[in-house]
Amino acid sequence: MISDLDYATLQQLWWIICSIVGALFLFLNLVQGGQTLLWQVAKTDLEKTLVVTSLGRKWELPFTTLVLFGGALFAAFPKFYATSFGGAYWVWMLILFSFIIQAVSYEYRKKPNNFLGSTVYELFLFINGSVGIFLIGAAVGTFYTGSNFTLDLYNRVTWDYTLLGINLRGLEAAFSLFNLSLGIFLVFNARVLGAQYLLNSIDLSSTPDLESRLRKNTWNSFLIALPFLLYVVICILFMEGFYVNDAGIVSLVSSKYLSNLLAMPHLLILLLAGIVFVLYGVLISKFKGSNKGIWSSGLGTFFVGLVVLCLPAFNNTAFYPSKLDLQSSLTIYNASSSHYTLAVMTYVAIGIPFVLGYVAYVWKLMDSKKLTKEEVINEKSY
């Protein structure tokens, strides 16, 4: 029985569930990545319509997954939600705003009498795929680099970061080289996934130039993403981490995350397998003329994302460290909901595989036939 699980097991289980949802979101960023490629790969109105229509069929999925990720964190780890989402106000508001203008763009880009013009809405799509994903990467980076907050005896949060007298409310995360690199990597990895998805979903027989541009951008985006990935991985292996002892005291320990990988070899295997899968998907897309690279690279992205989210939370590690006061740092044990709440949520979570199965089934039906130019001419397009 789920209710018989001990408190610590439920806390760990829910961090894994949240990490799975977060890693799935990173895979679904293929939509955002494809949006940033629009002006590079589409040179005619027909090509633009093909790209936007293909992506438009999936745009709700990453948005819904992001909301689910935030909702799961709110329910399972309310102290983290209150600390990060409340203190790092501008980061999360800008991320949310970028997804709002994405939804508006798909709805109004081709509306009659559109006074803004389609180019403005295409710019909104680019902002969502670049700025939005970059800020998400910077926010995830704070799991490793920490944030400028303190908690008092009553768990009230105080943030302290000003620049030229301006309280940045979380935007300071973008000034960390590690966070900056992680954000840039996610943007260009999303571009890789976006190009591969478009290769897989569009009938390119009538637009060979579009196909060649997509394959070129798959390779170029990967080459740009690679050094940032290497920098992030090297930093994780050698940077100081936030160790929590049995008494709950937090201290800095050198190479903590390398120790975590060695203590949890399954995460090390997932990390290496994820990198190999992404590389394989890129190579077959560029050099083998394959249209199925999205599945290899997508799975690899999911694996890497899962490792990045799980690594700072387990093996006695604070997953949301405070740079101002180490003892204010959050762990999955001091930031979670009650045993009763987690147990009830776990019963509800039993239905998640059925929901995922339904999503996969609908995805398969929608992509069972490649998008053709006749469809976008004769039917509603975005």
| pLDDT-based confidence at residue 175 (cuts at 50, 70, 90) | confident
Distance CA 94, CA 149 (A): 20
Reply yes or no on whether the pLDDT at 57 is more than 90.
no
Tens of pLDDT, residues 134-172: 999 999 999 999 888 888 776 777 766 655 455 666 677
pLDDT at 379 over 70: no
Contacts 24+ apart (CB under 8 A), 45-51: 46/207, 46/373, 46/376, 46/377, 47/207, 47/210, 48/122, 49/110, 49/376, 49/381, 49/382, 50/202, 50/207, 50/210, 50/371, 50/373, 50/376, 51/198, 51/202, 51/210
Segment among 58-62, 288-292, 361-365 with least mean pLDDT: 361-365
Give this prediction's pTM: 0.92
Amino acid present at 259:
S
- 2-34 pLDDT, tens digit each: 666 788 999 999 999 999 999 999 999 999 999
Average pLDDT (260-267) is 95
- Tokens representing 109 are 């880009």
Whole-number average pLDDT of the chain? 88
Name the region of 216 (left: φ>0; alpha: ψ -120 to 50; beta: rest). Answer: alpha
71: confidence class by pLDDT, cuts 50, 70, 90? confident
pLDDT > 70? residue 1: no
The per-residue pLDDT for 47 is 87
Longest dimension (CA), the chain: 67
CA distance readout (Å), 6 to 1, 94, 179, 304, 314: 11, 38, 35, 29, 16
Rg of the Cα atoms in the chain: 21
The domains of the chain are located at: 2-378
Residue 370: pLDDT above 90? Answer: no
- DSSP assignment of 43-61 equals -SHHHHHHHHHHHHTTTHH
Residue 320 above 60 pLDDT? yes
Say which residue the tokens 């070899």 belong to: 265
For 100-135, the pLDDT digits (tens) are: 999 888 888 877 777 777 888 999 999 999 999 999
pLDDT band at 309 (very low <50, low <70, confident <90, very high): very high
Measured distance CA(59)–CA(102) in Å, rounded:
8
Per-residue confidence (pLDDT) for residue 168, from 0 to 100? 67
pLDDT tens, residue by residue, 193-252: 999 999 999 888 878 899 999 999 999 999 999 999 999 999 999 999 999 998 889 999
| pLDDT for res 167 | 62
Predicted pLDDT at 166: 57
* Alpha-carbon span 327 to 252, nearest angstrom: 11
Closest residue by Cα to residue 135 from 63, 61, 187: 187
What percentage of the chain reaches a pLDDT higher than 90? 52
- Taking the C-alpha atoms of 75, 301, 32 and 370 in order, what is their torsion angle to the nearest 10 degrees? -120
Please state which of the ranges 9-23, 67-81, 177-191 shows the lowest mean pLDDT: 67-81
